[in-house]
Amino acid sequence: PLDREWWKEAVVYQIYPRSFNDSDGDGIGDIPGIVEKVDYLDALGVDVVWLNPVYESPMADNGYDIADYQSIHPEFGTMDDWETLLEELNNRDIRLIMDLVVNHTSDEHEWFQRSRQGDPEYEDYYYWREGDPEEPPNNWESFFGGPAWSWDDEREAWYLHLFDEKQPDLNWRNPDVREEIHDMMNWWLDHGIDGFRMDVINLISKTEGLPDGEHGGGEHFIGGPQVLEYIGEMVDETVADHDVMTVGEMVGVDAERAREYVAEGGCGLSMLIHFEHMGVDTGHDKWDLQELDLLELKRIIGEWQHTLADDGWNCIYLGNHDQPRGVSRFGDDGEYREESAKMLATFQFTLQGTPFVFQGEEIGMTNTTFEDPEKIRDVEAQNFAEMSLADWADDYAEDVQPILEDMSRDNARTPMQWDDTEHAGFTDGEPWIHVNENYDEVNVAAARADEDSIWHYYRELMDLREENDIFVYGDYETIDREHPEVYAYRRTLADDELIVVCNFFEREPQIEMADLDADAELVVSNYDVDGIPEDRVLDLRPYEARVYRQ
């Protein structure tokens, strides 16, 4: 019997609220703007919305710096607006999961304000170290570049921040901190949400004494000594009695490690967002873009598919608000934009796991341009540009701009392209970040009007997945692992079988599919396909994808 769960069968749609739809003309997307689009989400056919942070925040990291976990930032609306959103989604059988950001708060959170004043109740809510204001307490580095410590003049001490200096890390060793967080989570659960996406949740435990480390100190805070205990306790105290989904975002986790979080006997999460496949086209760091290593992609995906096959569950994504646009990165955003976006969607929807679709993917939104550094919005990209120009780059346009155009998180954060009117129909005001120039061609209205569009292709995949258990639950097996251009695999469930063939390149490779039946049924493809050749050698066109059933 299948180990059924609604969240295994669901398709999750990620909304980055700042860039989704602006209802009041201030140029910033908001919750009433999402409410205006619930029928859109329903028409697309998604089952769950994951909402990026909408809480009170000074917005140093677009809401991942939270000043109050139990209120909505006025730019996004009110708690009443949020209630309306939940109700309107639920009326359409769409569930809602919220972003839980508890590795750190904003420095403007009341806890930090009191902590920096030395209030005895709060003094140990964060990691403070006294000492020489010229020399940080250890050599840990921030994910956004530079040291992970800042000096606070008020408390006259250093505080730890693994991200921006406005994102101090919470001290999870302190039981009061953990209890506050559990209470807050229960408050949201009482409001009727269907789960959490847990931001960098495997960073919450740090090695006692905060010693120096190698490589920026990661070994002392990635999957730290008590991380399983803290997450397990959090699960027990909050979600355990609710039928909800929990998605841990985890840096530096491989499939074997993942079992400790999502498999039987682990700490109880439903699935996790890992980063392994985000490295298949980069070199020494995220900014160093290389050609896609398809064999490496097969190795990583295969490893995760096998390791979590019968115990645990995968989350399948190719892009989100922290990554460049999937079609620009793994496909082609020029001549073969439509074909490659459909191929990537085919791939995503035919692996075992829950697909996470990031807003705009369903219309093949692409990376954008940064010819003027004034267009940069993201703190990580800003730091990168500044540090590059200080360290090694001679010229912004020549050295920095091309890298940002490939890899900046802002690529994913340009406004959702609804139609071909001004600002792509996103706002009546001035958008907080520029709209991608291609909005007159790439937009929802055009995509919905064209039966062959990427949008309709996503719809078709969602129907297939809903109607056929094999898409969700079938076992996975790689075919022709060494083929350098084509990623092919088999899914099996009882005597049902799918054969998936994806060409990841513009080149036109052949692949021999010895096990393909002469009368296999073509279930879906991004091209018109003739019958199966007698010798079983398939000639594939640029970015061609086919799914057969036999």
Return residues touching ligand TEU (CB under 6 A).
61, 64, 101, 143, 163, 199-200, 251, 286, 321-322, 380, 409
CB of 352 to ligand TEU, least distance (A): 24
Q: Partners of 126 in the beta sheet? A: 170
> Does residue 249 have an active-site annotation?
yes
Please answer whether residues 285 and 275 qualify as being in contact, where contact means their C-beta atoms are separated by less than 8 angstroms: no
Least Å distance, CB 278 to ligand TEU, is 8
In the bound complex, what is the minimum distance in angstroms from residue 371's beta carbon to ligand TEU? 21
CB-nearer residue toward ligand TEU: 270 or 411 = 411
Q: Which is nearer to ligand TEU, 376 or 516 (CB)?
A: 376
Closer residue to ligand TEU, CB minimum distance, 286 or 483: 286
Nearest-approach distance from CB 380 to ligand TEU, in angstroms: 6
How far from 54 is each of 16, 59, 65, 100, CA to CA, in Å? 9, 10, 10, 11
CA 76 to chain centre: 21
Of 161, 144, 132, 50, the C-alpha closest to 95 is: 50
- Least Å distance, CB 169 to ligand TEU, is 10
- Catalytic one of 22, 61, 249, 338: 249
Cβ distance to ligand TEU smaller for residue 109 or 321: 321
58 and 106 in contact (C-beta within 8 Å)?
yes
Residue 103 C-beta: closest distance to ligand TEU, Å: 7
199 is an active site residue: yes
Which residues are CB-neighbours of 342 under 8 A, at least 6 positions away? 454, 457, 526, 543, 545
Closest CA to 122 of 136, 99, 105: 105
Q: Which of 75, 141, 152, 199 is catalytic?
A: 199
Question: Helix, strand, or coil here: 188?
Answer: helix
Give all strands (DSSP E) within 183-292, no chain letters: 195-198, 245-249, 271-273
Give the residue with the Cβ less far from ligand TEU, 203 or 267.
Answer: 203
| Closer residue to ligand TEU, CB minimum distance, 40 or 143 | 143
DSSP string, 433-493: SPPPGGGGTS-HHHHHH-TTSHHHHHHHHHHHHHH-HHHHH-EEEEESTT-SSEEEEEEEE
Sort strands 195-198 and 68-72 into parallel, antiparallel or unpaired: unpaired
**Residues identified as active-site:** 199, 249
